[in-house]
Amino acid sequence: MIKLLRVDHRLLHGQVVVSWFDNVGANTILVANDAVANDEFRKSAIRLAKPENAKLVMKSIDDSIDAINSGVTDKYQMLVVVESVGDAEKLIRGTQEQITSLNLGGTKPREGTKNYSKTINLTDLEADLLAGLQQDGVDVYIQQIPSESRQKFEK
């Protein structure tokens, strides 16, 4: 069961581990990222941030979709972390509406982005993807840590 899907350009780091993992009652972290899935150095670095009591899985977006759809992940309470809005949208669309909310935690400023909060910077295309998810009933919100108030994403 997916407890939380979070977009964070840093993927796994102290804030996610300490704040969100325990807060949502997860026992497994799925890092869904094509680049990480094929990079042993990045995998090693991410393993260092894993809580001792967590199972950590790192898969490509397509492999993550396949695993979720197959039911093999149903026995886990998962915190899923993706690096980008595009990856989140692909994961949500690919998992047959099993994911009904999306936490925006951090997207770094890049050329062509607009600032939506202190940690969220989006291109027009990313904002359109999020608006499309909202139109389809996905709860899209900005919240860096659980103790902060949720801010509904508004394009």
Domains recognised in the chain with CATH numbers: 2-152 (3.40.35.10)
- Which token pair is 25? 């009652």
Measured N-to-C along each axis, helices 85-94 and 61-70 cross at an angle, to the nearest 10 degrees, of: 30
Is the pLDDT at 13 greater than 90? The verdict is no
Q: Determine whether 61 is exposed, middle or buried from the number of CB atoms within 10 Å of its CB (0-12, 13-18, 19+).
A: buried
d(CA 129, CA 134): 9
Is the pLDDT at 15 greater than 80? The verdict is no
Is the pLDDT at 146 greater than 80? The verdict is yes
Alpha helix (H) ranges present in the chain? 14-15, 22-23, 34-37, 40-49, 61-70, 85-94, 124-135
The predicted model scores a pTM of 0.95
Per-residue pLDDT of 56-103, as tens digits, reads: 999 999 999 999 999 999 999 999 999 999 999 999 999 987 899 999
Q: Which of 51-55, 112-116, 126-130 has the lowest mean pLDDT?
A: 51-55
